[in-house]
Amino acid sequence: MKIKDLFLDGVIRKNPVLVQLLGMCSALAITTSLFNGLGMGLAVTIILICSNVVISLLRNFIPKKIRIAAFIVVIAAFVTIVDLLIQAFIPDLSESLGVFIPLIVVNCIILGRAEALASKNKVGVAALDGLFQGIGYTIAAVAMCIVRELLGSGTFGGGILNGGAGIRIFPEQFGATYMIMPFGGFIVMAFLIALTQWLVARNEKKTGKKADPVPDEYEEVLK
């Protein structure tokens, strides 16, 4: 498997949020500021890489009948480590993301990659897959954050730039408040999914190769 294929799968062809439609709960709930999107994306990426590496190393020792339970134990260990580190060093992010950091334990992106790829491939491939899938999730989350924050609050870079207030683009009273509410999250995600599907279809037409967004190996995980 080529690194280029892994990269394109993670970012576009099999983007976990916009193509596979996994991990949508956190993507919809926390994407109201750039600070949240980058923080959640970094957390998911670190956990993906670490859990993929460990599961790949243990793939020949984990009995098939208990593999899902074993994967969850490994994932939970890294989620706990990341959660405690965020609480210790970035308390504002921990408070902002709340329960969605611990909920990464049951995030279908992490478990799906463990089952579909990490448990069947060598460490190098598993690590790169975790990195690129994490980048794909981060891109989707950050894109949603930028659109929702800009249209809803009139700012860019909330929580990071300008002392955390973000850069004011237009007066707050002209913002569409509903964009930072759940309804706005669904609307923005729908447009991003449509854009991604157009890019995937364009790539299929160009290469003549049809992408399989949800591999057969996910079926048991998604039941």
Query: Residue 197: pLDDT above 60?
Result: yes
- CA 188 to CA 173: how far, in whole Å? 21
Predicted local confidence at residue 162, as pLDDT: 81
- CA 109 to CA 137: how far, in whole Å? 9
- Into how many domains does the chain fold? 1
Judge whether 13 lies within some domain. Answer: yes
Judge whether 196 lies within some domain. Answer: no
- Residue 34 phi/psi, 5-degree rounding, is -60, -35
Predicted local confidence at residue 215, as pLDDT: 54
Give the global pTM: 0.89
pLDDT per position as a tens digit, 148-194: 999 998 999 988 888 888 899 988 888 888 898 888 999 999 999 99
Mean of per-residue pLDDT scores for the chain: 88
Judge whether 183 lies within some domain. Answer: no
Contacts of 114 (CB under 8 A, 6+ apart): 51, 52, 55, 71, 74, 75
Q: Mean pLDDT, to the nearest integer, of 44-67?
A: 95
- CA 109 to CA 23: how far, in whole Å? 6
Judge whether 184 lies within some domain. Answer: no
Give the closest residue to 133 by CA, choosing from 111, 149, 105, 103: 111
Q: Is 176 left (phi over 0), alpha (psi -120 to 50) or beta?
A: beta
Predicted local confidence at residue 214, as pLDDT: 52
pLDDT per position as a tens digit, 70-129: 999 999 999 999 999 999 999 999 999 989 999 999 888 999 999 989 999 999 999 999
Domain that holds residue 27: 3-147
Q: How far is CA 87 from CA 83, 92, 165, in A?
A: 6, 8, 21
Q: Mean pLDDT, to the nearest integer, of 136-158?
A: 93
Which range of 23-27, 100-104, 137-141, 152-156 scores highest in mean pLDDT? It is 137-141
